[in-house]
Structure 1
Amino acid sequence: MRATLLLGVLLVPLSLIADESLKAVKAPNYIYEESPVFLVEQGAVDVEAVGKIAAYADSVFLLGKGALYHIVPAVKKDGTFRAAKVSKYVFTSVLGDIVHVDGKYVWISAHSKEGLNKQLIALCKMNVEAGGKSQVGMRVTALERLGKPAGKIDLPASEPKAVADAEGVLYVLDAKTAMVVPVTPQAAEVSLIPAPSAEVADIAYDKPRGWFWAVVPKRKILCSFDRNGVVIVVKRLKYQPVGVAVSGGSVWIVDATNKKLRKYRYKEEVAYELEASLEATVRFEVGGAPGCIALPWQLPHQKILDGGRIKVSQKVKVEKDNWGQRYVRFGGSGWIEVHAKIHRMTYNIVPKRCGGFSAIPESVRRDYTKDGRMLKINSAEVQEAAEAAKALLKRWKAAKGSDVKETPYWLARAAYEWLVRKIHYKRVPGWVDAPTILRRGYGTCSPISFAYVAVCRALGVPARFMAGTRWRNKDPSYDREFHRWCEVYIPPYGWVPVDPSAVGKDPTPLRAALHWGHLPETDLVMTLGGGGSDVFGWVYNAAGRPAQALWSNIKKEENAR
Structure 2
Amino acid sequence: MQRYYYLLLNTLLLGATFSGLAYPGEVVKRIKAPSTHPSGITFDGKNLWVCDQKTDLFYCIDTENGAIVRTLSAPGYWPEAMAWDGAFLWSTDAKDGLPKSEHYSAQLYKTDPLSGQVVHSTDAPEPLMKGLSSDGNYLWSIDKSSGQIILFSSTDGTTLRTVPGPTRSATGIAYDGKYLWVSDNSKNQLFMTDPLDGAVLLTTELPGPYIRGITYDGKYLWAIDSQTDSLYKIKTRDEQKYRLTNPQKLNLTFNHLTTNFGPGEVHSLDVHIAVPESRINQKITGKTVFSPQGYVIETDNWGQKTAHWQVAPLANDEHFEATMQVSAETWDLQYFIYPEQIGTENDIPAEIKQLFLQDNEKYQITDPVIKEAVQKAIGKEKNLYKKAWKLYRYVQENMFYQMAGGWNTAPAVLLRGNGSCSEYSFVYIALCRAAGIPARYVGAVSVRQEKAQLDDVFHRWVEIFLPGYGWIPVDPSGGDSDSPAHQAAFFGAVRGKYIVTTQSGGGSNTMEWTYNSNEFYTADPKAYIVTDTFGDWDISK
Which residue of 395, 401, 410 corresponds with 1:425? 401
Cα shift at 1:270: 1.4
d(CA) in 2 for partners of 1:91, 1:551: 58
In structure 2, the residue matched to 1:437 is 413
d(CA) in 2 for partners of 1:388, 1:375: 18
1:72 aligns with 2:61: yes
Q: 1:97, 1:109 within 8 Å by CA — same for their partners in 2? A: yes
d(CA) in 1 for partners of 2:215, 2:271: 57
In structure 2, the residue matched to 1:552 is 538
In structure 2, the residue matched to 1:171 is 140
Cα shift at 1:182: 3.3
Cα shift at 1:91: 5.2
d(CA) in 1 for partners of 2:373, 2:216: 38
In structure 2, the residue matched to 1:337 is 325
Which residue of 272, 297, 306 corresponds with 1:292? 272
d(CA) in 2 for partners of 1:119, 1:469: 53
**1:273–1:237: structure 2 CA closer, same or farther, 3 Å change rule?**
same
d(CA) in 2 for partners of 1:316, 1:473: 34
Q: Counterpart of 2:10 in 1: which secondary structure?
A: coil
d(CA) in 2 for partners of 1:348, 1:459: 23
Q: 2:378, 2:387 within 8 Å by CA — same for their partners in 1? A: yes
Which residue of 297, 320, 323 corresponds with 1:318? 297
Q: 2:122, 2:155 within 8 Å by CA — same for their partners in 1? A: no
1:504 aligns with 2:504: no
1:349 aligns with 2:317: no
In structure 2, the residue matched to 1:156 is 125
d(CA) in 2 for partners of 1:2, 1:25: 10
- The amino acid that maps onto 1:407 is N
Cα shift at 1:198: 2.8
Q: How does 1:206-285 map to 2 (within 5 A)?
A: 206-207=176-177, 210-228=178-196, 229-237=198-206, 239-256=209-226, 258-285=228-255
**1:504–1:383: structure 2 CA closer, same or farther, 3 Å change rule?**
same
d(CA) in 1 for partners of 2:341, 2:8: 29
RMSD: 3.1
d(CA) in 2 for partners of 1:231, 1:90: 36
Which residue of 104, 119, 127 corresponds with 2:107? 119
Q: 1:280, 1:553 within 8 Å by CA — same for their partners in 2? A: yes
Cα shift at 1:361: 0.6
- Deviates further, 345-354 or 410-419: 410-419
How many correspondences in the alignment?
493
**1:476–1:172: structure 2 CA closer, same or farther, 3 Å change rule?**
closer
**1:381–1:337: structure 2 CA closer, same or farther, 3 Å change rule?**
same
Cα shift at 1:471: 1.2
**1:112–1:553: structure 2 CA closer, same or farther, 3 Å change rule?**
closer
Q: 1:61, 1:68 within 8 Å by CA — same for their partners in 2? A: no
Cα shift at 1:443: 1.9
Q: How does 1:322-401 map to 2 (within 5 A)?
A: 322-330=301-309, 331=311, 332-391=320-379, 394=380
- The amino acid that maps onto 2:425 is S
d(CA) in 2 for partners of 1:27, 1:550: 29
% same residue: 24
- The amino acid that maps onto 1:101 is W
- State the TM-score, normalized to the length of structure 2: 0.83
Q: 1:169, 1:187 within 8 Å by CA — same for their partners in 2? A: no
d(CA) in 2 for partners of 1:433, 1:259: 57
Cα shift at 1:491: 0.4
- Deviates further, 231-240 or 409-418: 231-240
Q: Counterpart of 1:448 in 2: which secondary structure?
A: helix
d(CA) in 1 for partners of 2:359, 2:156: 49
1:122-155 deviation line (CA, Å, top 9, x unaligned):
34x324xxxxxxxxxxxxxxxx443xx2122443
Q: 1:61, 1:71 within 8 Å by CA — same for their partners in 2? A: yes
**1:167–1:99: structure 2 CA closer, same or farther, 3 Å change rule?**
closer
1:455 aligns with 2:431: yes
1:214-240 deviation line (CA, Å, top 9, x unaligned):
001222110111232221111134734
Cα shift at 1:488: 0.8
d(CA) in 1 for partners of 2:136, 2:76: 31
In structure 1, the residue matched to 2:172 is 202
d(CA) in 2 for partners of 1:500, 1:480: 20
- Deviates further, 313-322 or 358-367: 313-322
Cα shift at 1:90: 6.0
d(CA) in 2 for partners of 1:95, 1:435: 57
In structure 1, the residue matched to 2:499 is 524
d(CA) in 2 for partners of 1:383, 1:26: 27
Q: 1:463, 1:488 within 8 Å by CA — same for their partners in 2? A: yes
1:35-85 deviation line (CA, Å, top 9, x unaligned):
52312211223441242322223433233324235252553xxxxx6x554
Q: Counterpart of 2:398 in 1: which secondary structure?
A: coil
Q: 1:45, 1:84 within 8 Å by CA — same for their partners in 2? A: no
**1:89–1:485: structure 2 CA closer, same or farther, 3 Å change rule?**
same
d(CA) in 2 for partners of 1:113, 1:204: 23
d(CA) in 1 for partners of 2:30, 2:97: 39
Cα shift at 1:119: 3.2
Q: Counterpart of 2:386 in 1: which secondary structure?
A: helix
In structure 2, the residue matched to 1:138 is none
Listed as ranges, the gaps of 5+ residues in structure 1 are 4-23, 76-80, 128-143, 395-404, 556-561
In structure 2, the residue matched to 1:536 is 511
Q: How does 1:188-199 map to 2 (within 5 A)?
A: 192-199=162-169
Cα shift at 1:516: 0.5
**1:187–1:529: structure 2 CA closer, same or farther, 3 Å change rule?**
farther
d(CA) in 2 for partners of 1:294, 1:189: 55
1:169-193 deviation line (CA, Å, top 9, x unaligned):
3233333451322325799997543
Which residue of 466, 473, 478 corresponds with 2:454? 478
d(CA) in 2 for partners of 1:226, 1:286: 46
1:305 aligns with 2:285: yes
Cα shift at 1:429: 2.9
- State the TM-score, normalized to the length of structure 1: 0.80
Which residue of 7, 13, 22 corresponds with 1:37? 22
d(CA) in 2 for partners of 1:214, 1:437: 36
In structure 1, the residue matched to 2:471 is 495
